[in-house]
Amino acid sequence: MDAIVDFFRVYQTTIGVIGINALLALSVWVTLYAGQLTLGNAAFMAVGAYGAALLGMRVGVPFPVGLALGALLSAALALPLGLAVFRLRGVYLAIATIGFGEVVRVVLLTLPFTGKALGLNGIPPVTELWHIYLSLAAVAYVLWRVQGSTVGRAWAAIREDEIAAASQGIAVRRYKLAAFVAGAALAAWAGGLSAHLNFSIEPGDFGFTRAVQILVFAVVGGTPSVAGPIFGATLLTALPEVLRPLKEYRDIFAGLILMGVIIYLPRGLVTLAELRKTRRLQEIGAADVA
Amino acid sequence: MSPPLLEVEDLRVRYGAVEAVHGVSFAVNAGEVTTLIGANGAGKSSTLAALSGLVPAGGRIRFDGRDIAGAPPHAIVRAGIVQVPEGREILAQMTVEENLLMGLRGRARSDLDSAYERFPILGERRALLAGSLSGGEQQMLAIARALLARPRLLLLDEPSLGLAPLIVKRVFDTLADLRRQGITMLLVEQNALRALRLADRAYVMELGKLVMRGTGQDLLGDEGVARTYLGG
């Protein structure tokens, strides 16, 4: 028992960060599932982080209300942005959302009340692990249900072929926009949780590197299912800890593992489970023939 | 006599500097099969794409008395015009059942039974990925999916394209069944013989214009049509 308590005490921050990263990975998964490559979620995370922290520290808004307002603000920004950028596809869409991320970063560096380059310090550390994991469980459950619904099928159809989806009566732009706004709100929620976990935030935390990291969590874990991004975020966040004995070589190994996954499991780590199922089916099939 | 279900007037489709359809006018009567035949590049598919709202077009399109020109594709589907696109356009990475569910758009799942009754093979393969079906089965899936959307006008773009002769026959048998059930269809085909045999009304399209019109029987008996499109 003591060992478990000790483990949690030592790794409390890492466990919290894993949960937040999983939420972020799910936030980009929503748009990926609809076939849209966007890199704006680090910026939406920043909106949620600054929004929740400032509302809590300066206005005295209760923590959950601050989280919710941050998410709402982020969704309100995502709506007009989405209307503008969803004229674009593929890499052009990705670049446009990177542009948005840079705008947010520079705004945070210049506004008088965001602490500029120093960011915000002394944010009350009110985020508990159960806040993070309750959010994660709720979000994962809702997304899992959405995946099997009319909305989920519409997203999948758009991902496969926009023209075919449109000719089936799917309002393509509306569904893309819905995915984008939902992802933005989710990233902001995760941002708020993260601000209140870490005491301090600064604009550099939410730059391009962060945006790519979120995408990598989702893609390495695998986008076919909700479990993929959670799995990817968990593994890639824990990996540096696990590889600690390798000392200065650990980043090299982390990079090699990443390359291996992308090359051999292009649909992500969750496809490992599918592979096993297929193999079982083949065995059963072989037995039938024999 | 009641007005036609679909009235198209001076329809023009432009791709950049090139105009593919130069002002065509035609009508589709309820309960009839109307066909557009013509060679590759005549503008047949562009015409259908314009009717579905998939490409911007000039001119007037009236469906059941409502002007639908310029409406987005999903609004046109909701109005009752459903297209079976060329090359099937099924969602290959989704299962047969998931493809059919798209057609239902939220209606009760039990409505799928009507599709499985009409196409038993799809019932047998409901859990398979649509991309693993044969070409003919994919075409059946595309037709079944469109029917589930309860079309008042079914647009079919080259349903025989790339299929073996025996399968082409099966596809046209299915279309003949649909005709008997009173489903209104606008059929675009290169297989002129089969299309004309099926059609109540037919138009010949050449280089973006309608050059001939008549009943299916009329055009089957026409020497010029026979020479150009029926191979003799």
- Output the DSSP codes for B64-128: TTEE-TT--HHHHHHHTEEEE-TT----TTSBHHHHHHHHHTTS-GGGHHHHHHH-HHHHHTTTS
Residue of B40, B60, B33 lying closest to B202 (CA atoms): B33
Name the band, by pLDDT with cuts 50, 70 and 90, for residue B89: confident
The residue that leads in pLDDT, A173 or B87, is A173
Q: Which two tokens stand for residue B25?
A: 């006018």
**Residue of B46, B74, B93, B145 to mutate for A, most A C-beta atoms under 10 A:** B74
The residue that leads in pLDDT, B192 or A285, is B192
Span A115-130, average pLDDT = 92
Biggest CA–CA distance in chain B, Å, is 51
Name the band, by pLDDT with cuts 50, 70 and 90, for residue A290: very low
Span B85-97, average pLDDT = 85
- Which residues make Cβ contacts (< 8 Å) with residue A61, sequence separation at least 6? A55, A69
> What's the mean per-residue pLDDT of chain A?
90
Q: Which two tokens stand for residue B53?
A: 């709202």
Contacts of residue B98 in chain A, CB cutoff 8 Å?
153, 156
Asked whether the beta carbons of residue A153 and residue B89 sit closer than 8 angstroms, the reply is: no
* Alpha-carbon gap, residue A188 to A51, rounded angstroms: 9
The DSSP output letter for A245 is G
Beta bridge partners of B37: B189, B204
% residues pLDDT > 90 (chain B): 74
Q: For residue A280, what pLDDT is reported?
A: 63
Could you report the per-residue pLDDT of A193-215, keeping only the tens digit for each?
999 999 899 999 999 999 999 99
Q: Which two tokens stand for residue A4?
A: 């478990």
**Residue of A168, A223, A277, A281 to mutate for B, most B C-beta atoms under 10 A:** A168
SS3 A228: helix
Query: A79-88, A230-239, B205-214, B221-230: lowest mean pLDDT where?
Result: B221-230
Which of A160, A169, A172 is the closest to B105 by Cβ?
A: A169
Domain ranges (residues) in chain B: 6-87+152-229
Name the band, by pLDDT with cuts 50, 70 and 90, for residue B1: low
Residue of A149, A152, A233, A153 lying closest to A187 (CA atoms): A233
Asked whether the beta carbons of residue B54 and residue A167 sit closer than 8 angstroms, the reply is: yes
Asked whether the beta carbons of residue B54 and residue A171 sit closer than 8 angstroms, the reply is: no
CB atoms within 10 A of CB A46: 29
CB atoms within 10 A of CB B29: 16
Q: For residue A288, what pLDDT is reported?
A: 44
pTM across the whole model: 0.86
Contacts of residue A164 in chain B, CB cutoff 8 Å?
85, 89-91
* Alpha-carbon gap, residue A75 to A178, rounded angstroms: 10
Q: For residue A269, what pLDDT is reported?
A: 85
- Domains belonging to chain A, first-starting first, are 2-289 (1.10.3470)
* pLDDT surpassing 50 at residue A289: no
Q: For residue A1, what pLDDT is reported?
A: 67
Q: For residue B113, what pLDDT is reported?
A: 92
- Architecture of the domain made up of B6-87+152-229: 3-Layer(aba) Sandwich (3.40)
The DSSP output letter for A219 is H
Residue of B213, B181, B173 lying closest to B197 (CA atoms): B173
* pLDDT surpassing 60 at residue B175: yes
Could you report the per-residue pLDDT of A240-280, keeping only the tens digit for each?
888 888 878 877 887 888 788 888 888 888 888 776 666 66
Span B212-231, average pLDDT = 87
Name the band, by pLDDT with cuts 50, 70 and 90, for residue B4: very high
% residues pLDDT > 70 (chain B): 99
% residues pLDDT > 90 (chain A): 68
* Alpha-carbon gap, residue A228 to A88, rounded angstroms: 27
- Which residues make Cβ contacts (< 8 Å) with residue A78, sequence separation at least 6? A40, A44, A180, A181, A183, A184, A185
* Alpha-carbon gap, residue B143 to B141, rounded angstroms: 5
Chain B CA closest to residue A155 = B102
Chain A CA closest to residue B50 = A167
* pLDDT surpassing 70 at residue A68: yes
Is ipTM strictly over 0.95? no
* pLDDT surpassing 80 at residue B72: yes
* pLDDT surpassing 60 at residue A62: yes
Q: A3 — contact with chain B (CB < 8 Å)?
A: no
Contact B130, B142 (CB under 8 A): no
Nearest C-alpha of chain A: how many angstroms from B214? 29
Q: For residue A287, what pLDDT is reported?
A: 46
Contact A120, A201 (CB under 8 A): yes
Which of B78, B89, B93 is the closest to A169 by Cβ?
A: B78
Positive or negative torsion for Cα A243, A249, A255, A256: negative
Contacts of residue A167 in chain B, CB cutoff 8 Å?
52, 54, 73, 77, 82-83, 85, 89
Contact A18, A237 (CB under 8 A): yes
Cα angle value A257/A278/A239 (rounded, 5°): 20
Contacts of residue B74 in chain A, CB cutoff 8 Å?
166, 169-172
